[in-house]
Amino acid sequence: MIDYIIVGSGLAGISFSEIALLNGKSIVVFNNDSQNSSKIAGGLYNPVILKRFSEVWQAKEQLELMTVFYSNLNNKINHKFDFKIPILRKFFSIEEQNNWFAASDKKALAPFLSTSLCFDKYDGIESPFGYGEVLQTGYVDTASLVSKYQDYLASVNLLKLESFDYDALIIKEDSISYKEIEAKHIVFAEGFGLHANPFFNELPLDGTKGELFIIKAPDLKLDVIVNTSVFILPLGNDFFKVGATYNWKDKTDLPTEEGRVELIDRIKEIISYEFEIIEHNAGVRPTVRDRRPLVGTHSNYKNIHVLNGLGTRGVMLGPAMAKALFENIEYNILLDKEIDIKRFTNKRKK
């Protein structure tokens, strides 16, 4: 008997898989590549909500854990995923500058907001009011992470590239059985695919479609991430990742002409240089209306668990939420009420 069946190998599934393995647990991972939001994600980690200069929920704790988590993964797989790079928030007025300074005086935000405005000149970008630099930022190459981690799992015979058949799951008193596999627990980390899951499809996973470009702009010399109405992330060799759009109605992962036009317009608002669109990608982020993840155990089955709803900040949330779920299962450490799915399931019971 193994300890865990894990369904899904995006950011949530990878995070739980790795934390289980680090704690000496045996696992098998199912993945059918039906969800691509982790692969095409921007991958930025940023402890500040830059639209209104406010703190990301539990940013300090998440950053500390993810730094160690991705460093260990870099060493384990011998591939670099985590890139430290400043994020500059472009200011559009004196008022925004003042709001930045007001935010930097707050205790929770002070470690993350530089109090020295940046007036560096980047050819092709007009910035008369300068930039504010966010500290402790960077990005994770999520496409590479997903691919390399799946390769690792396959190399040690822990990956099954197939769809999970919910009807074949047999629930017992202290374990579960799936075809030839006996396990103590199963964790569903399926992203937007949760809607097909009969155990958790009543959870309010909304889903927000995002579209991104990879562009080539040989004249744009940028060594930082610039954040305005979109982000521009330098990938090297004149390539940049640009995104993202937000669509709450379309739940497909197909790029759209509407998204293409929106991104082109926003890029042209920021840079004056010519650019070539190399890739146009789209995916549905697993989002929740209260902007908190979905973590916990099924109300009727103590061996069936969920890790989902990481939304737009999956690279930061993934390791922390996986650790919380693992410790809840193994050591009965209570989940934070803000992430526990009981906040929804208890309401339904009343």
Task: Give the pLDDT of residue 349.
Answer: 52
Confidence band of 348 (pLDDT split at 50, 70, 90)? low
Q: Which two tokens stand for residue 101?
A: 């300074």
Residues near 38 by beta carbon (within 8 Å), at least 6 away in sequence? 10, 11, 14, 142, 146, 191, 314
Q: Measured between alpha carbons, how far is 296 from 326 in angstroms, rounded to an integer?
A: 10
Domains of the chain, by residue range, sit at 2-41+143-204+289-349, 86-138+207-285
Confidence band of 303 (pLDDT split at 50, 70, 90)? very high
Least confidently predicted of 29-43, 182-196, 300-314: 29-43
Q: Which two tokens stand for residue 240?
A: 């940049």
Residues near 156 by beta carbon (within 8 Å), at least 6 away in sequence? none
Superfamily of domain 86-138+207-285: D-Amino Acid Oxidase, subunit A, domain 2 (3.30.9.10)
Q: What is the mean pLDDT of the chain?
A: 95
Q: By the 8 A CB rule, do 89 and 134 touch?
A: yes
- Is the per-residue pLDDT at 350 higher than 50? no
Total number of residues shown for the chain: 350
- 330: closest CA among 1, 26, 15, 20? 20
Average pLDDT over every residue of 330-336 = 98
pTM: 0.95
Question: What φ, ψ does residue 338 adopt, rounded to 5°?
Answer: -70, -20
Q: Measured between alpha carbons, how far is 252 from 179 in angstroms, rounded to an integer?
A: 31
Task: Give the pLDDT of residue 97.
Answer: 97
Query: pLDDT tens digits, residue range 154-191?
Result: 999 999 999 999 999 999 999 999 999 999 999 999 99
Confidence band of 193 (pLDDT split at 50, 70, 90)? very high
Query: pLDDT tens digits, residue range 139-156?
Result: 999 999 999 999 999 999
Q: Which two tokens stand for residue 292?
A: 């908190």
Confidence band of 33 (pLDDT split at 50, 70, 90)? confident
Query: pLDDT tens digits, residue range 100-138?
Result: 999 999 999 999 999 999 999 999 999 999 999 999 999
Q: Which two tokens stand for residue 280?
A: 């146009």
Confidence band of 267 (pLDDT split at 50, 70, 90)? very high
Q: Measured between alpha carbons, how far is 143 from 209 in angstroms, rounded to an integer?
A: 17
Q: By the 8 A CB rule, do 319 and 16 touch?
A: no
Q: Measured between alpha carbons, how far is 182 from 300 in angstroms, rounded to an integer?
A: 19
Dihedral Cα 123, 125, 128, 130, nearest 10 deg: -90
Q: Measured between alpha carbons, how far is 334 from 327 in angstroms, rounded to an integer?
A: 8
Query: pLDDT tens digits, residue range 232-263?
Result: 999 999 999 999 999 999 999 999 999 999 99
Q: Measured between alpha carbons, how far is 232 from 210 in angstroms, rounded to an integer?
A: 15
Average pLDDT over every residue of 36-61 = 92
Average pLDDT over every residue of 24-40 = 90
Q: Where does 2-41+143-204+289-349 sit in CATH, by number? A: 3.50.50.60
How far is residue 51 from each of residues 6, 44, 96, 176, measured CA to CA in Å? 35, 15, 10, 45
Tell me which DSSP letter residue 139 carries: E
